[in-house]
Structure 1
């Protein structure tokens, strides 16, 4: 069975790099080279489409996710040109989900109708907190009022699929302050919330000079408190850090978590493509593009490949990567999906499943399914060790 297909587009520039962020993003130049970058994206996509056609049947795109960086640094006209160019190159589902990440700010509200008119169907706002102190500590350039105004403007413009990112375990944050953040977010009635703990990622300013974070047990209480508040408001947890109202789950991310295929274009973007033979997955290939925008643009201008790395996944790689994604879902997945998306027999998982079940990290009563227990979700790294066959 041919896996579904999605497209990720990376727009790598931000106004300012946040000290906790380890994403492939860079401070924006005085003038973003929109035209040059769009040309590079289209060349990148053309090459990926040729690669795609040689490896698997062409199926309609189910979702497009424009991430960054801060994608709304690109004008609505540029986003419209980008989406039109994609439609000219690839078939798209009639019900395609198209997400645009946005940083809340004073200039955002006026642009929202134009982004939606360009074809965007889902907006994702990087709110992170409703505390002015916390936002300053995180290096964010917006203020709480900007998040409130942006979400309300999106709703007024007719957008019904709206995600807001919210973090907890912030520097000097108390349990009461974390609760106030969630309650203020819920006043906006978003359809989707990404609620996750601040972590100190390697090679970031926060890792090199750690801020005073809450104790581990306090952060755990914040996470549990947030889950309860979100559930009481009708936002069900369907992935470790994702909560949504009915039928508002992020289909693009679900494709990642169910090990679907996706193209990745733009500086530092990653893709996953399956070679399909006789209706079955035979091989799975990962591709990564040049991460530095200057190198990515230079590759295009010189006519060289924009692919920095390409590799075929081994059976051990496939087992671990499938588990790493699928076991994030609270409902888990059918074991048959492992066979369909990796081309490996279900027996390949037998030892890993038995070990994880014995450790209380995988539900032994979910016949024919891979489902993490509550403890498994909270200790995902421990659970994944059982699926590491390397």
Structure 2
């Protein structure tokens, strides 16, 4: 289950997520009530399955109190149920947390914290419009550990303005020295509906980006961080269960303003995408109805959606996932897959669907084949 908290202390210039600068007083209780209404209205979508993960994303979920987070967790557990090893992640920003707050989240049942640091370079933090400093970023990791979290992720960006290989690797070295279990290291991209789109900073060219990525991946591997997805690196097999479910084209319920969900109705072999009202004020008006829209993912679109997710995984997925999660036979994609294998972009295996090292670098080329196939169907 994905749970969206839409407010931030400040909207970052690169962010195209459904986030909104927080009002002077966040309607926290009212919003929690709306989340509970969403859960109640979506019970049938669980289809008897227990939740293997909850993910509080945003926005900045750490703006909420531990009590509010606890209320939502208890409701989900009571009404739907959890697996024994349920992963409960909460995103936090360094400027919105302290020891007491982290302890409250821990007591509420959160067992994985994800800290939005982006960079340990104060100059770059300023360019990115962030409110925290490198000191407070480092301190947030220490506080999270002191509060009892033994699964900590930090988000880091590369490909920043005026960044070179040396200072990109310095960010990673800071992260490695903090001994976090998971690092999400992704490239800054300029998206529509952001301040950066209207006034773009000068970013490194493709050659330098490629060099940064190569050196960064080597450094992380040297210190025991396994790259299991394009931008995800984990120690001691502490992968993110929630995100891995996305990439394996699994089902998930989305609650909260602007949240998306994906559900397979097994008895009908129907695949649904669900969407909730984006604007927090509009969303709160509909809280008693748990209002959402649904669209059916039609058969020709399913192979592309499946590939867009699973090919992000370094080790791919079992080929049997395709019929299980799309409702289509393997023969539906066999011609494209065979051609991609001949070109050295997919591995030649009868049971696993994964890219070669070359294919992993040219995912857009692979996906383009499925885009064209969709257009021709």
Q: TM-score, normalised by structure 2?
A: 0.96
CA distance in 2, matches of 1:264, 1:330: 26
2:233 counterpart residue number: 243
Give the Å deviation of 1:87. 1.5
Give the Å deviation of 1:356. 2.3
SS in 2 for 1:93: strand
For residues 316-374 of structure 1, give each alpha carbon's deviation from its aligned partner in whole angstroms, at most 9, with x where no partner exists: 221111111111000001111111111111111112212322343222x2332111122
- Of 231, 242, 261 in structure 2, the residue corresponding to residue 271 of structure 1 is 261
**Aligned pair count?**
373
Task: Work out whether residues 353 and 362 of structure 1, in 8 Å CA contact, stay in contact via their aligned partners in 2.
Answer: yes
Q: Does 1:319 align with 2:313?
A: no
- Which runs of at least 4 in structure 1 moved beyond 4 Å after TM superposition? none
1:299 counterpart residue number: 286
Aligned 1:179-198 pairs, distance under 5 A: 179-198=169-188
2:329 counterpart residue number: 345
Give the Å deviation of 1:221. 0.8
Task: Work out whether residues 106 and 146 of structure 1, in 8 Å CA contact, stay in contact via their aligned partners in 2.
Answer: no
Give the Å deviation of 1:13. 0.3
What is the aligned-residue RMSD (CA, Å)? 1.4
CA distance in 2, matches of 1:125, 1:196: 14
Q: For structure 1, which segment, 83-92 or 24-33, has the greater mean C-alpha deviation from structure 2 after superposition?
A: 83-92
Structure 2: which 5+ residue stretches go unaligned? none
- Of 305, 316, 328 in structure 2, the residue corresponding to residue 332 of structure 1 is 316
SS in 1 for 2:321: helix
For residues 1-20 of structure 1, give each alpha carbon's deviation from its aligned partner in whole angstroms, at most 9, with x where no partner exists: xxxxxx00000000001000
Aligned 1:208-287 pairs, distance under 5 A: 208-277=198-267, 282-287=269-274
2:344 counterpart residue number: 360
Structure 1: which 5+ residue stretches go unaligned? 1-6
Give the Å deviation of 1:152. 1.3
Task: Work out whether residues 109 and 149 of structure 1, in 8 Å CA contact, stay in contact via their aligned partners in 2.
Answer: no
Q: TM-score, normalised by structure 1?
A: 0.93
Q: Does 1:135 align with 2:129?
A: no
CA distance in 1, matches of 2:322, 2:143: 42
CA distance in 2, matches of 1:190, 1:125: 10
For residues 298-325 of structure 1, give each alpha carbon's deviation from its aligned partner in whole angstroms, at most 9, with x where no partner exists: 122xx44521x31111112211111111
